Structure 1
Amino acid sequence: MTQRVLTGITTTGTLHLGNYVGAIRPAIAASQEAGVESFFFMADYHALIKCDEPERIARSRLEIAATWLAAGLDTSRVTFYRQSDIPEIPELTWLLTCITSKGQMNRAHAYKAAVDANVAGGEDPDAGITMGLYSYPILMAADILIFNAHRVPVGRDQVQHIEMARDVAQRFNHQFGQGSDFFVLPEANVEEDVALLPGLDGRKMSKSYDNSIPLFEGGAKALKEAIARIVTDSRLPGEPKEPEGQALVTIYDAFATPAQRTEFRAALRGGLAWGEAKQQLFDRIEAQIGPMRARYAELMAHPERIEAVLQEGAAKARKLAGPLLAQAREAVGLRSFVAVAPLPAKGNAGKAAKHALPVVKQYREADGQFYFKLNAADGTLLLQSLGFAEGREAGQWVARLKRDGLDALADLPLAAEPAIDRPALDAALAALRDAQT
């Protein structure tokens, strides 16, 4: 079966050599595998959460789109589009927002980290936190679910967001799927073996460390100057050098064949000067990056070509997103007006339809405690809990009761009344379990 793989591309900042080796190159290679239908999108709505500089947003989108195209992304094989060109995504985001619990969003790592930072700094917990940051996981869920992607390559720090997308999809399927799975439940494809290039100082290459090597910015001159600043040991020309653990060698490996790596190590152990080693590294990288840089410059000189590619990608994407959103609108009741059968009349028939299944009700009383009760289909009270300090406790007991049935009664804090009618209670719990399957 063809697997849909969806990759989001951050549209802030300028890309460096580490981005190419760790993300762009492997993603493009993966998109060429058989049995894979790849979606690559420019996450420009997400960029608005972190950046309020319009010119920077606009420039970064252009540069990053040009970079992926110059690096060899084959848009005849993949669907390449801007998030902001797909209006179905924000509409689906709202439909999903309406079924997503606030408690789930409260547990999102990015929001919790921002709150913790505010509290540590003596600020109001929500100071400076926008609804964009707070609701970010729902937009990410819509990005994924609008195309029913099977796999989403992410770093470990993003796994929670994929789990949230699965939860939201399951809730929608249960509430509106009418017995079928409306949305595919996506899987996180954790990239444990991503190649992380060291920077000039040996630490992970990062703009924040000011140790990065530019990919295209500044041309060959900037690339050569950056390579010249890579930190090495103090061994002189002619002295044997140990290649292992050297940032320069690790970067060389990312652009060399196995035979070239062996030869380079042997030369260093034989006394190759660091200056000459850096020149060989430059030559090796420039041989691969130079032609891409030329394509990048051509694309940047003609942004209308990039726009045409993205609009073509958006058209492909909307052919899939449009029908799925139409089904979602239909499922939640946003339908065209047509003649429909009248609702059941009020009275016994209406009450019978309303109470077709047993009902669990959770509520809070004036004492501040949380309670739940179970009514039979005819409204008879079958079970009444005692109070709990938190609503979460009550919810956990409801879940346990549905799962374990009468076995849960031994530990469940129950009110003295009503007396437990075990056969009737067992039948009611069985009916609730059947309704969930």
Structure 2
Amino acid sequence: MKPRTAGILGGTVLASIVVAVAAASGVPPFIGANVPDSKVTGTTGPTASYDGVTLRPVDGGPDYYGTFKNGLPADPAFFPIAVWFESVLDQGNIALDTAAGLNTYVELTANSDLQLVRASGMYAIPTFASPDASGFALSDEVDMWAGPGSTPWTGKYPGEGPLCTPEESKCGYTVQKERRAVSPQGAMLYANYGKGVAFWLSDEESVEFFKGIQDVVSADTYWFTDPSICAKGEGGAIIGYTRDLTPDECRLAANYGWTIERIRTLQKAGNTTPIWAFVEAGHPFKDSANATTITAPQIRAAVWSSLIHGARGVIYFNHNFGGDCISQHVLRDCGVQVRPTVTALNQQITGLAPVLNGPFLDGATTATGPVDFTTKLHDGKVYIFAGANKATGGPATFHSKCGGSTAVVLDEDRTLPIVDGTFTDTFTDGNAVHLYRIEGGGSCGL
């Protein structure tokens, strides 16, 4: 994947829904509108309801990964935490990556040792077939470089010559179907899309990339670092392409959750495949006036926004094309800036994997204040995960139908009293994330 900075404006997107929800909730109709509980929709699997609360499984269902040949573990204690396009040449590479809390490689250099990856308890999803792989990656960002169309594909990639026949036509649908046709039988198929499905293409054009193509999907929208993403024709999708976003509206962790929701709307209701978060770990664009380096707090907030919105895996973009540490191995080479925070974040996600893989309690929680949030149920305990959706942050009050006496704030060594099902906390800025486990309550009858 290479960062892109230009494109075309096309179609309608989720913005109208966001505006409508915002108007109903009294929140300004732009970023991260506060709505009752998770905005995740269209998951598969059985649901159960009681007194307005619905128990809903994660996208694909909890055992999804175990349905593929040599797939990822279906163990609820496993949550995919991946790095993009690494090279694994020796045990030292593996040691650095596992120490950072990674467990999966998405895309790998051709000279990587996949036998070593598997023998080390790691998992690989390369673009080439291998008996040691746990999946197969289709073409990356094909929505951008080949476009929405079904003309013949020449078999070439950007920089190698004409892509489609005729040359000026679009052949992205063809590319993915041909890549799928050469994939190993029974393998889990993964694809990453870009600004095409996120911003530039119409819904009608975009949904064609989700009709029986891949089994796991992601989209890379680098809200904190992309020099052009705040423009009317890109990030402006959030507000109906009416204007450019302001810096506070654009450089916001909650927008990574918006990307997850955008991809979910393009899939068939009731048959949503798992969506993985895609978050930059450094400075992915060459230096320009608007290219920036993501900070450690921003990485954590972006990942948690994605998880709050139902992401079932995390991928870190691991390449710096600008900034003060040019590298193809950011989490190995540029660790002073972000590695400690990313390591702690990955450990936290791994520890909460059974909760993240567990069902949602839709309708169990309401909130007032500048937050996006979701409610989960695991082992009889209710969890509320929340992240700020405004750059300024602010106080937020949560009310849980499941009751409770205390909200334990995970990994913060503090608790909050719950009175009549209600508690209040402060989100200091747009990167604030708080994770709560409710004690002394029930499971809303589910």
Please classify the TM superposition score into its range, dividing by the shorter chain length: under 0.3
Which is higher, the Rg of structure 1 or of structure 2? 1
**What TM-score results when the alignment is normalised by the length of structure 1?**
0.24
- Choose between structure 1 and 2 for higher RCO, CA contacts under 8 A separated by at least 6 residues: 2
**What TM-score results when the alignment is normalised by the length of structure 2?**
0.24
* Higher strand proportion (structure 1 or 2): 2
